[in-house]
Amino acid sequence: MLQARHLLAEKGHEVYSIGPDSPVLAALTLMAERSVGALLVMDGESLVGIVSERDYARNIVLKGRSSATTAVNEIMTREMITVGPDETVEQCMRLCTNRRVRHLPVVEDGKTVGVLSIGDLVKAVISEQTEQIEQLQRYIAG
C-alpha cells in the first residue's frame, strides 16, 4: 500500500514556504511563480501555519483588505492537519475529504519533509487502480 513517503520520493521533498510577517501579496506572487495553491508558513524551521488561495479569497478579497499591507499571519490557517511519512494514501485522502483541506504537510520527527496536495493523492489512487486493472486483465487473458 502506498504511503506518503512513496509519493514524496516520486514528487520530491521541496517545500514552498513564506514567513508569517511577509505581506500576503508576496505569498500570492510566490504561489503564482511556483504554480501552487498554498504555502507553508514557517517561522525559521517551525511550521506555524498554511496560507492558501482560499484564505486569500475569504480574508482579503471578501473583506476588502489590502494584500500589500496585510501580513500572512493575519489570514493563515493555524490549525493544520499534518501527516507522517508512514500514513497511507487512503488515510491521507480520508483526512482531506473529511476535514475539507487540499494540502497536507508531511512531518517527520518534528521536521517538515514535504507537502502532499489532493492532486498528488488522486493521481496516486488513479495510478494504483490502473495498475490493478491491468494485472486483472493479464490474469484473465493469461
- Decide the pairing of beta strands 38-43 and 46-52: antiparallel
* pTM, full prediction: 0.87
CATH classification code of 4-141: 3.10.580.10
- C-alpha grid cell for residue 102? 487540499
Question: 83 pairs with which residues across the strands?
Answer: 106
Query: Where do the domains of the chain lie?
Result: 4-141
Question: pLDDT per position in the chain (142 positions), as tens?
Answer: 899 999 999 999 999 999 999 999 999 999 999 999 999 999 999 999 999 999 999 999 889 999 999 999 999 999 989 999 999 999 999 999 999 999 999 999 999 999 999 999 999 999 888 888 998 898 899 7
Determine the residue type at 64: G
